[in-house]
Amino acid sequence: MVNQTDLPVDKRRRPARDLIAEVLKNMRANLEPLRYSTLAPSRYLIYLHPNEYARLETIIPLLREQTIRALSEELATLNKRSSVQRYAERFLRSGAPPVESAAGEWQVEFLPDPDGDVEEGAILIDSQLRLPATLELGGEKTRRITTLHVGTNVTTRANIVEDRPTAPVARAFAKLTYEDEAGQHTFEIMKDSTTIGRGGTTYPVDVKILSSADVSREHARIRRDAQTGRFFLIDLSSLGTTLNGRHIPRGFDEADGTKKENGSETPVPDQARIGLADTVYLQFETLRT
C-alpha cells in the first residue's frame, strides 16, 4: 500500500476540510475596507479536478452547507471585540468598521473544472465582491479574485468587471476578421471593451479563439474611448501581442504571484493587423458612418 505522504504534493487527496479552510483564507485576504464597513466577497466558485469532484460529489451539498456556516462563523470572529475594546471604542468613538458580506448572504458552489486549468490535487477559487456604486471606482462593478492553489504554491489574478449590461447601440464601431482552427470569422465590435483569447472557466472573453495554448485564455483587450472614438490595444498574454508586426508593451505587472493591469495600452490605427503569440492574426477595421 502506498503511503499518501510519499506521493507528490499535487497528487495527494486533499481532505474536504482543506477546501473550507482555503475559502476562509480567500475571504480574509480579499476584504475591501470602506468608511463605515468592510466588505467581504460574498460569492465563491471552487473548481476541482474532475476526479477530485467525483470523489466528493456525494457530499457536495454538505460541504457547501458547512462552508457557508464556516464563513458566517469567520465573519463573527472578525467582528468580535473584547470588553476592553468595546469600552475604548465607546469612549473614543472610534474602532474598526464591522465586516459584512457584500451581498448580505453567502453563495458557494463546488464545480468540476471543464477547461483543464486545475491539476489533480489543486484548487481554483474564484471569489467575487460586488463594489457599491458609491465607490470612486465608478458605477457598480464586481472585483474577481482567482486563486489557484497547487501544493504550497498560490497564484492570484485580480480584475474588475462591469456589472451593468452595456446599452445596445445602433451600429458596430469596428470589426475583426480572423481565421482559427474552427475556420473564418467576423466579429463586430459594438461596445467599449472587447476581450480576445481562448477563454475558459474564469476567463470570459468576447472573441473566443480556438487555437493552441500559445494563445492565452485572456490574451488581449481592445478598448474604445467613448469620447474620442479612438481604439487602444492592451496585451494581457504570456507570449505577447503584436500590432502591425511590432510587439506592444505588456499591459500588466506580476508581483508575488498576482497579475495586475498597469494601464499600458497602444493606440490602434483605423486599419491594423493584430497578432496573438505569432499564431493567430486578426484584421481590425474601424467602421465609419
Cell numbers standing for residue 18: 482543506
pLDDT tens for residues 58-69? 999 999 999 999
Number of H helices, E strands in the chain: 4, 21
Residue-wise pLDDT tens for the chain (289 aa)? Answer: 334 434 444 455 778 999 999 999 999 988 988 888 899 999 999 999 999 999 999 999 999 999 999 999 999 999 986 555 555 555 555 566 889 998 888 999 999 988 777 888 889 999 988 765 544 444 556 777 888 777 777 778 776 665 555 555 558 999 999 999 999 999 999 999 999 999 887 788 999 999 998 999 999 999 999 999 999 999 999 999 999 999 999 999 887 767 788 999 999 999 999 999 999 999 999 997 6
CB-CB contact of 280 with 180 (8 Å): yes
C-alpha grid cell, residue 77: 470572529
Domains of the chain: 4-162 (3.30.2320), 174-286 (2.60.200.20)
Burial 90-119 (b: 16+ CB within 10 A, else e): eeeeeeeeebbbbeeebebebebbeeebbb
145 Rama class: left (phi>0) / alpha (psi -120 to 50) / beta: beta
pTM: 0.65
Residue 209, burial from CB neighbour count under 10 angstroms (0-12, 13-18, 19+)? buried
| Residue 6: predicted pLDDT | 45
pLDDT at residue 261, rounded to an integer: 87
